[in-house]
Structure 1
């Protein structure tokens, strides 16, 4: 069985590629409906963020392959390390609104808001004392941002940059997730292998999960089924059912050197992807399905920074050296 699936998966190149001006450190599809026929996508390089709309033939038969339209290039002045979309980004209203938040190597958050014409605002938020590993917008109204850092904190901010909550961690914060079905909870993953859920009203931890190993590099809360949590730790992927146990139900080795990113598909609760650490020879993209013993897709090219799933298609995107690679999973 295993061998057959492995052969089916095979090493394959991306379904589509887009050439970029710079190394891509992070790339994110908007997980929200922007009201446009395509999907909003942003990617960050060394000095700028590019915002675009993508349409794929898999969702619109009139498109040949991939239609990629750049909406605006935002000068950032410092390398972009992580990026999150606001649910307030809309292209179907006038004026149009684009809003996203970045974190950079200077330990600052920047909230960028634009009407894609003349109005363009950048709000800098300071407070973290070390590298910011991940951030997320509150997914329903978009009025708050949560961020985690090597400074052993998770902080919640309003759009004016005021800190509204502070959670002290026992090791660097690697991932933070906010689920639209559970907006009063925040999921925070720590490098030492612990994932905690915090109640935002009481500001107390209400549930914790344990990897049983270290280092945890990335975790994600499944959008399609909120009882599922996944992570990469060491060279393995691990998955929990939060109603059953604080230890993972499923675990499998995936990347030889070390795994770097874990992301659930937004459309299918059994599909997820992992990447190895950039710069390593075996830094591949792997796509996994919980019903298959082996990866269902192995990307043939080495990946750089970033990993994100399309809002409705079984398609993910990775960044790299002056390119974006889009990978369609044939399920």
Structure 2
């Protein structure tokens, strides 16, 4: 960790609106650049990102806008479909959003003249997270403050409902075993559901509340991480239903946890917005202290690049990218 304790972003991209959520696509889109989407108050901007770590001819970061989608309401959460491809004609962009009007919106475009938005209704309270089934992208799961996890098909039909015992905060879908879905609840419970039997097959307990965010390490699926209260916690699901590691992370509540996609020992956490203390912390399981502290005081959204040890957060009219040098 640096002597001054924090550092500025490695790269920034200016935006025309406040960024509420930002997501790299976790899937190979067939392009040397990465797909990235960010949502503001009225719009979702979809583009490609390329970094000098991937291409020596790029100065820092190169962001190319592919399309701006009118959304009409602020975007609270966003998930990419694995069907999004740039290397075939027609090209396909597909993603789903959640908004404060309790609706999911499925947006599909060929980046030419075909654009479609489908609203999906059923949740009765705030939607906290959503995810596509990662192999074919034909199903979407969502969790809400209404104490449910719901499954949808691409026609907008609700295909299953799981009753939860507290607000659902986070979701992850197993990358190969597509019948396994992880659902994290605010009361500190993380459950894994078998979507064939629609039964819980494993349960984890973090021992404190509130749990505001959890993530499954998809490069090593025995690891699950979460932020609860001011701490981060990590489980090895083969060893115990209680966390193997727990460390204090943020002075105030911690609100986001994300595993790196490039390194199974790397993860990031964010505190609540509006606090003076630094928002973004990057941690390594082999180090007792954060290996990087990002100096952003206000942030929204947090996502890791698919292959680089680089994460992005949104904020006031900009995207901020931090490269972790290990």
Q: What TM-score, normalized by structure 1, do the two folds share? A: 0.97
Equivalent position of 1:269 in the other structure? 264
Equivalent position of 2:200 in the other structure? 205
Judge conservation of contact 2:6–2:278 (CA < 8 Å) in 1. no
- Shift, 1:71, TM fit: 0.5
Report how many residues are paired: 326
1:231 matched to 2:223? no
The one of 248, 255, 261 aligned to 1:260:
255
Q: SS of the counterpart of 2:2?
A: helix
Judge conservation of contact 2:19–2:317 (CA < 8 Å) in 1. yes
Judge conservation of contact 2:164–2:185 (CA < 8 Å) in 1. yes
Equivalent position of 1:3 in the other structure? none
Equivalent position of 2:172 in the other structure? 177
Please show how residues 147-186 of structure 1 align to structure 2 within 5 Å: 147-186=142-181
Distance in 2, Cα, partners of 1:250 & 1:234: 15
- Shift, 1:283, TM fit: 4.9
- Shift, 1:179, TM fit: 1.8
- Shift, 1:181, TM fit: 2.3
- Shift, 1:182, TM fit: 2.3
Equivalent position of 2:274 in the other structure? 279
* Runs of 5+ consecutive residues of structure 2 not aligned to the other structure: none
Judge conservation of contact 2:135–2:176 (CA < 8 Å) in 1. no
Equivalent position of 2:80 in the other structure? 85
Distance in 2, Cα, partners of 1:59 & 1:227: 30
Judge conservation of contact 2:81–2:94 (CA < 8 Å) in 1. yes
Judge conservation of contact 2:25–2:34 (CA < 8 Å) in 1. yes
Judge conservation of contact 1:9–1:298 (CA < 8 Å) in 2. no
Distance in 2, Cα, partners of 1:78 & 1:301: 25
Q: What TM-score, normalized by structure 2, do the two folds share? A: 0.99
The CA deviation string for residues 216-253 of structure 1, in whole angstroms up to 9 with x for no partner, is: 00000001101100000000000000000000000000
Judge conservation of contact 2:2–2:292 (CA < 8 Å) in 1. no
Please show how residues 69-218 of structure 1 align to structure 2 within 5 Å: 69-218=64-213
Distance in 1, Cα, partners of 2:64 & 2:102: 31
- Shift, 1:59, TM fit: 1.1
The CA deviation string for residues 52-84 of structure 1, in whole angstroms up to 9 with x for no partner, is: 100001011121211110111000000100000
Q: SS of the counterpart of 1:7?
A: coil
- Shift, 1:94, TM fit: 0.4
Distance in 2, Cα, partners of 1:56 & 1:175: 29
Distance in 2, Cα, partners of 1:88 & 1:236: 36
Judge conservation of contact 2:102–2:124 (CA < 8 Å) in 1. yes
Equivalent position of 1:61 in the other structure? 56
Q: 1:227 to 1:9 in 2, by over 3 A?
A: farther
Equivalent position of 1:249 in the other structure? 244
* Runs of 5+ consecutive residues of structure 1 not aligned to the other structure: 1-5
The one of 7, 11, 22 aligned to 2:6:
11
Distance in 1, Cα, partners of 2:271 & 2:202: 29
